[in-house]
Every structure is written in C-alpha cells, then in structure tokens.
C-alpha cells in the first residue's frame, strides 16, 4: 500500500481567508485525484493531475502536482462557506488496483 | 455524464434482516467498486469488479455479498449485519483498473446511509 499523508486533518477558518492542504507520499503515483465530500454525500471529483509539475485551476482552487509525482497541494483563495467539506486526495499507481486515500482534511469556513 | 446512481439513499435494518444496496452507471465503465466509509474518515475499499468478475475482496466478512449482474449494475447483499456495520456505503466506477494514467479515475455515487439496529 502506498501511503498518502494529508495535512492538516482539521481546519477552521473565516470567510475570505486563504488555505493550503497538502498531500505527501514517499511513493510515485501515476495520477492523483482530489475530491470534496459533503456530509451524507459521496465524494465529488474536483480534479485529476497526471503530469509532474502540473498546475490546474478551478475557479478559486489551485491544484499542484509535484515534479516527482509524489506530492500534491490544494490552495483555496478567499474561502467561502460553500467550500466547507471533507477534502480527500487519492493516488493511483500503474500497478495497483485501488485508490490510495489520504485521511482527509475537514474544512469549516464560517461567515 | 459522470453519474453513478445508488439506491436507497437511506436504509435502516435489524440484525436479522436481509437487504440489498444497488448501484448503476451508464458511462461504459468496466470497473466498479464498493467502499465503506465512517464519519470523517476516508473510504475503505471492500470489493472491486472488473469486467463483471470479482477482482478484489479486501477480507470483507461474508455477511456482505457483492454481485455484478451486468456491466452497468452492482449490488451489495446484506445479511445478519452488526451495529458496527452502520456506515455510508459508496459505489464507484472507473473506465478500467490500473495500467494507464487516467484509466482508473473513480467516480462516486452519493452513497447509502446504512443504520443497523
């Protein structure tokens, strides 16, 4: 199993603040997915990164994949209450069947 | 369309009941998955089907029995569950399994919230 260390585990911030979530591993991944999950719902795919050094933007969210494809980050600019949820990173390898999930970051954005 | 549909959304059952969870996708995906998720934890893989054949069983107790009637459908049959089996059960699908960078990007359903009394 390829472990993904995700940090921070919990984050409570006020509307308008910026934040970064990190996902690190000692293993190389062929791709890495970021999901957001709201209570009682399934994870919703936000982005997939596949190329080392890749940067993708989704409105106020910026995703980076490390050059060595071992780590990734999610940066949210000017967070809003609607960003509240559980953020999960998940890595795929060329040889493994399953996604390797990080433990998740529970984000609360208060007005 | 990246929709995976799960029914029912909520299920309450006693420890002697038999019930089934259903999952459906029409994206032409050939891999389907069952996960179990406890509150504020990541999903835990239970079963993987590839081309309607069971590929992985992650040492799941026999009171959980998966079935893949065709490439679009995945069922999870439940029998004699325990209260600790209460959780959100998630179904996911992907184009295939490993072997390509985008091949096993997984799309999740909304889940079934199961309570065992």
Q: Are A73 and A64 in contact (CB under 8 A)?
A: yes
The C-alpha of B3 sits at a distance from chain A's nearest C-alpha, in angstroms, of 10
> CB A33 to CB B106 under 8 A?
yes
Give the count of beta carbons closer than 10 Å to the beta carbon of residue B33. Answer: 29
Task: Give the pLDDT score at A2.
Answer: 66
Q: Cα(B88)–Cα(B40) distance, rounded to whole angstroms? A: 11
> CB A98 to CB B48 under 8 A?
yes
At B23, is the pLDDT very low, low, confident or very high (cuts 50, 70, 90)?
A: very high
pLDDT digits (tens, 9 = 90+) for A6-16: 999 999 999 99
The C-alpha of B115 sits at a distance from chain A's nearest C-alpha, in angstroms, of 13
Q: Is A108 on the interface with B (CB under 8 A)?
A: no
Strand pairing report for B10-13 and B112-116:
parallel
- Cα angle vertex A45, ends B103, B78, to 5°? 85
Q: Are A83 and A77 in contact (CB under 8 A)?
A: no
Task: Give the pLDDT score at B99.
Answer: 52
Q: Are B96 and B30 in contact (CB under 8 A)?
A: yes
> For B6, which residue in chain A has the nearest alpha carbon?
A42
Enumerate the residues of chain B whose CB falls inside 8 A of the CB of residue A98: 33, 45, 48, 56
Task: Give the pLDDT score at B104.
Answer: 76
Residues whose CB is less than 8 angstroms from the CB of residue B62 and which lie 6 or more positions away in sequence, other chains included: none
**Helices (DSSP H) in B2-117: which residue ranges?**
none
pLDDT digits (tens, 9 = 90+) for A42-97: 999 999 999 999 999 999 999 999 999 999 999 999 999 999 999 999 988 766 66
B35 φ, ψ to 5°?
-125, 155
Strand pairing report for A10-14 and A105-110:
parallel
Residues whose CB is less than 8 angstroms from the CB of residue B59 and which lie 6 or more positions away in sequence, other chains included: none
Q: Is A56 on the interface with B (CB under 8 A)?
A: no
**Which of A66, A85, A80 has the alpha carbon at shortest distance from A23?**
A66
Residues whose CB is less than 8 angstroms from the CB of residue A23 and which lie 6 or more positions away in sequence, other chains included: A4, A5, A6, A32, A71, A72, A73, A74, A89, A91, A102
Percent of chain B with pLDDT over 70: 93
Candidate ranges A13-27, A83-97, B102-116; pick with highest mean pLDDT = A13-27
Q: Are B117 and B11 in contact (CB under 8 A)?
A: no
pLDDT digits (tens, 9 = 90+) for B57-93: 888 999 999 999 999 999 999 999 999 999 999 999 9
The C-alpha of A78 sits at a distance from chain B's nearest C-alpha, in angstroms, of 24
């Amino acid at each position: 199993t390829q472990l993904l260390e995700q940090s921070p585990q919990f984050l409570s911030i006020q509307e308008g603040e910026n934040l970064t979530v990190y996902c690190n591993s000692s293993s190389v991944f062929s791709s890495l997915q970021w999901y957001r999950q709201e209570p009682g719902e399934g994870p919703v795919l936000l982005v997939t990164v596949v190329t080392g050094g890749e940067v993708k933007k989704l409105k106020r969210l910026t995703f980076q994949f490390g050059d060595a494809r071992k780590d990734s980050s999610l940066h949210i600019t000017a967070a809003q209450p609607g960003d509240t949820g559980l953020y999960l990173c998940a890595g795929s390898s060329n040889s493994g069947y399953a996604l390797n999930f990080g433990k998740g970051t529970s984000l609360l954005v208060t007005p | 369309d990246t929709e995976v549909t799960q029914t029912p959304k909520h299920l309450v059952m006693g420890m002697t009941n038999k019930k089934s969870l259903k999952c459906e996708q029409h994206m032409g995906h050939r891999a389907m998955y069952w996960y179990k998720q406890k509150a504020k934890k990541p999903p835990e893989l239970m079963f993987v089907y590839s081309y309607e054949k069971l590929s992985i069983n992650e040492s799941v107790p026999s009171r959980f029995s998966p079935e893949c009637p065709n490439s679009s459908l995945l069922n999870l049959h439940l029998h004699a569950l325990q209260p600790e089996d209460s959780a959100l059960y998630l179904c996911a699908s992907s184009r295939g399994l490993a072997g390509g960078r985008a091949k096993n990007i997984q799309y999740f359903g909304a889940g079934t919230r199961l309570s065992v009394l």
